[in-house]
Amino acid sequence: MQNSSALQVAIVGTGYVGLTTGVALAHLGHTVVGVDQDPGKVQMLREGRSPIHEVHLEDLLRASGEQLRFTTHLSEGLQGADVAIIAVGTPPKPNGEADTRYVEAVAREIAQHLTEGQRLVVVVKSTVPIGSNQRVASVIARVLRERQVQAHVSFASNPEFLREGMALYDTFYPDRIVVGTADDHATTVLRQLYRPLLEQTFTPPPGLPRPSAFPLPPLVTTDTTSAEMIKYAANAFLATKISFINEIAGLCERVGADVTEVARGMGLDTRIGSRFLQAGLGWGGSCFPKDTQALQAVAAEYGYTMPIIQAARDVNARQRKLMVEKLQRTLKVLRGRTVAVLGLAFKPGTDDVRDSAGMDVLRMLLECDVHLRAYDPVALDAAQRALPDMEVDWAYTAQEALEGADAVLIATEWEEFQTLDWAVLATRMRTPVVVDGRNVLNPAALRAAGFTYVGVGR
Ligand code: UDX
Ligand code: UDX
């Protein structure tokens, strides 16, 4: 796969974003070194095992051979590197601001390892508050000054738009690639890095065929601040879109409309579009909650309010509470009841439980003294690690979770839940009540199977 336009890339942080990006860049023919401070993770990756559940990731990791190596030493990754991509996490601080301390620490370390005359493009892929790219540049410049080393460092902001569970698909077939920089060299190098994606000249990896009539993605070049803002604005908009349909769903319930029909009818208007109009338990994960909060924190810094973002967040929080209320309305008394929660990952296709709506509902139900059974096809271990001291019976099959339960709540739309034999399960429960928090079951079929069916806005 080696070719003349191949670059040497160091990716710092091999989490959901860094690992997916590294594996994809290696497939495109670049030579990639993944750097992570976690020796356990690096060891796993060296053995060809993925620390995260993401479809096709492990196969592609194993197929990458010499193109992709892993280390805990940044200096090793930087040797001969053309590009260093920073993809470490930016967790929220107590005030909601994204914490850039890891990003800055990596920037400092990069500067400590740069050698005289080295040319490097430093790319920030982590989602960082407005102005952080400039901060990275000044941190690196300061360390180089202190060390009296002359290196030619260019900077670019290059936000990611990959969805967990679809991470490789989104990386290989992006809608657009955004590069924010004031430096022509950075633009040139990043255009070279992403050329196989921009021109779609790579061989699709097994299991990830190119969609038919896939339009070539544009490279959006802009200034760093706008690039940082594009990421936040896109995520805030998508989160708002979901909260909007969830708000409509509440009214649908009251007037007797079906929100899935409403969303279909709305979505066919090409100005609106049908995606991200799925009503339910609302959004979770490592991005929408954190990014909407971070956007507000930035706004607050400038004395500005963002009432739409606030409303989107409020509706999303209410959506989780409503689910508990629905259970309570149906079962009347919650205390002492046995409720099975199916789905703990924040969405299907991942083992990520960060800010998962299902996990939140689990916590709320525990506070109501409900006896809980929980099952997830892949996120069970992660859920147990996240709630180690909670009195939850972790079940290893959906059937086991439902046995003798008073109600079942679907919190994640795993396909597996749609194909369960609900007619048989109805006979195994104490009372066949299903609260479909993701509107994935067929209400008529469930009712025919003997269930009391409660959906969201239908
Ligand atoms: C990414 C982005 O970086 C974040 O800004 C965005 O909002 C969400 O996606 P993600 O890949 O999900 O984060 O983070 P995580 O899975 O936590 O991975 C971060 C990795 O960086 C971990 O493997 C961690 O060990 C590593 N790390 C962290 C370092 O190598 N060095 C550090 O200083 C900090
Ligand atoms: C998101 C962005 O989509 C992606 O571009 C990137 O910036 C990272 O953040 P991710 O959080 O991985 O991706 O998943 P996504 O598919 O966007 O789902 C986020 C949440 O919204 C999930 O909890 C999902 O269940 C929920 N969701 C999504 C809905 O409730 N309804 C929908 O119609 C779509």
Q: What is the pLDDT of residues 199-247, one digit of tens each?
A: 999 999 999 999 999 999 999 999 999 999 999 999 999 999 999 999 9
* Predicted local distance difference test score (pLDDT) of residue 418: 96
Q: Which atom of ligand 2 is nearest to the CA of 352?
A: 12
Q: Over the chain, what is the mean pLDDT?
A: 97
CB 245 within 8 A of CB 263: yes
pLDDT class of 4 with cuts at 50, 70, 90: confident
Tell the CATH superfamily of the 8-222 domain.
NAD(P)-binding Rossmann-like Domain (3.40.50.720)
Given the residues 287, 359, 411, 440, the one annotated as active site? 287
Handedness of CA 392, 396, 402, 403 (dihedral sign): negative
Cα end-to-end span (Å), the chain: 52
pLDDT class of 390 with cuts at 50, 70, 90: confident
* Predicted local distance difference test score (pLDDT) of residue 423: 97
3-state helix, strand, coil in the chain (%, to 5): 45, 15, 40
Amino acid at position 341, single letter: V
**Equal fold, 8-222 vs 318-454:** yes
CB 284 within 8 A of CB 357: yes
Q: Which two tokens stand for residue 228?
A: 């940082």
**How far apart are alpha carbons 13 and 35 in whole angstroms?**
6
Query: If you take atom 16 of ligand 2, which residue's CA is the nearest one?
Result: 163
Ligand nearest to the CA of 17: 1
Q: Kindly report, residue by residue over 357-372, the tens digit of the pLDDT.
A: 999 999 999 999 999 9
Amino acid at position 147, single letter: R
Angle between helices 132-147 and 101-113 (to 10 degrees): 30
Ligand 2, CB cutoff 6 Å, lining residues? 161-164, 235, 238, 242, 276-278, 280, 282-285, 287-288, 346-347
Ligand nearest to the CA of 244: 2
Q: Which atom of ligand 1 is nearest to the CA of 287?
A: 7
Query: Structure pTM?
Result: 0.96
Sorted by where each begins, the domain ranges of the chain are 8-222, 318-454
Ligand 1, CB cutoff 6 Å, lining residues? 12-18, 36-38, 41, 87-90, 102, 105-106, 126-127, 286-287
Give me the torsion for CA of 97, 98, 103, 108, rounded to 10°: 10
Query: If you take atom 34 of ligand 2, which residue's CA is the nearest one?
Result: 276
Q: Kindly report, residue by residue over 9-53, the tens digit of the pLDDT.
A: 999 999 999 999 999 999 999 999 999 999 999 999 999 999 999
Task: Supply the DSSP symbol for 66.
Answer: G
Measured in angstroms, how far is the CA atom of residue 278 from the centroid of ligand 2? 11
**How far apart are alpha carbons 107 and 113 in whole angstroms?**
10
Is the predicted pLDDT of residue 63 greater than 60, yes or no? yes
Taking CA atoms, 169 is separated from 159, 173, 174, 205, 210, in Å, by 16, 6, 8, 10, 9
Measured in angstroms, how far is the CA atom of residue 283 from the centroid of ligand 2? 6
Conformational region of residue 197, where left means phi above 0, alpha means psi within -120 to 50, and beta covers everything else: alpha
- The H-assigned helical ranges of 217-356 are 224-255, 259-267, 288-301, 307-331
* 3-class SS string, 324-361: HHHHHHHHCCCCCCEEEEECCCCCCCCCCCCCCHHHHH
Phi, psi at 408, each rounded to 5°: -125, 140
Q: Kindly report, residue by residue over 314-354, the tens digit of the pLDDT.
A: 999 999 999 999 999 999 999 999 999 999 999 999 999 99
CA 339, distance to chain mean position in Å, is 28
* Predicted local distance difference test score (pLDDT) of residue 316: 98
Tell the CATH topology of 318-454.
Answer: Rossmann fold (3.40.50)
Q: Kindly report, residue by residue over 113-156, the tens digit of the pLDDT.
A: 999 999 999 999 999 998 899 999 999 999 999 999 999 999 99
* Predicted local distance difference test score (pLDDT) of residue 1: 45
| Closest-CA residue to 452 (of 437, 431, 438) | 431
Measured in angstroms, how far is the CA atom of residue 163 from the centroid of ligand 2? 6
Ligand nearest to the CA of 89: 1
Handedness of CA 347, 27, 18, 34 (dihedral sign): positive
CB 33 within 8 A of CB 74: no
Handedness of CA 216, 222, 224, 228 (dihedral sign): negative
Element (H, E) at 22: helix 16-27
**How far apart are alpha carbons 437 and 453 in whole angstroms?**
11
Q: Which two tokens stand for residue 227?
A: 């690039």
* Predicted local distance difference test score (pLDDT) of residue 3: 65
Mean pLDDT, residues 277-284 taken together: 98
The helix/strand/coil state of 123 is strand
Instruction: Provide CB contacts within 8 A for 22, sequence distance 6+.
Output: 9, 11, 14, 32, 34, 68
Measured in angstroms, how far is the CA atom of residue 456 from the centroid of ligand 1? 34
- The H-assigned helical ranges of 28-73 are 39-46, 57-63
Measured in angstroms, how far is the CA atom of residue 87 from the centroid of ligand 1? 6
Our answer to whether residue 252 is catalytic in this structure is no
Q: What percent of the chain has pLDDT over 70?
A: 99
Q: Which two tokens stand for residue 336?
A: 């002492």
Instruction: Provide CB contacts within 8 A for 367, sequence distance 6+.
Output: none
